Structure 1
Amino acid sequence: HPKKIWTFMADLFAIVLGLLAITGLFVLKGKKGITGRGAWLTIAGIAIPVLFLILYL
């Protein structure tokens, strides 16, 4: 069943991308870390997908 395999691969890829994004918050610190411009980018990066989930689910 190729559909099940591709669904599994897509889910696995999404999990890996999520882990990459989360670890990127802590690995690459700038001068101010996450408290400067990074805080606004982090809020936007969380708010946009949540907004789409609220609107379309």
Structure 2
Amino acid sequence: MAVGGITSILLAYPLIGDDKCQRYAELARPINMHTLVDSLTGAQGLSRAAVRQSLPQIVK
């Protein structure tokens, strides 16, 4: 979706694994991406990837 030009994406399923979190963070740089997490582990994985990409993080 991001590569196809969509500029706002909500990912409604958890990302499992550092590789997927890293790819998500790379795709999130030029667009507005949001995701839902179902565990502290999932949030930590996304946080690590976002920090590596210098992306802002907002937790609600």
TM-score, normalising length: structure 2? 0.34
Of structures 1 and 2, the one with the larger relative CO (CA 8 A, separation 6+) is 2
Which is richer in helix? 1
User: Which has the larger Rg?
Assistant: 1
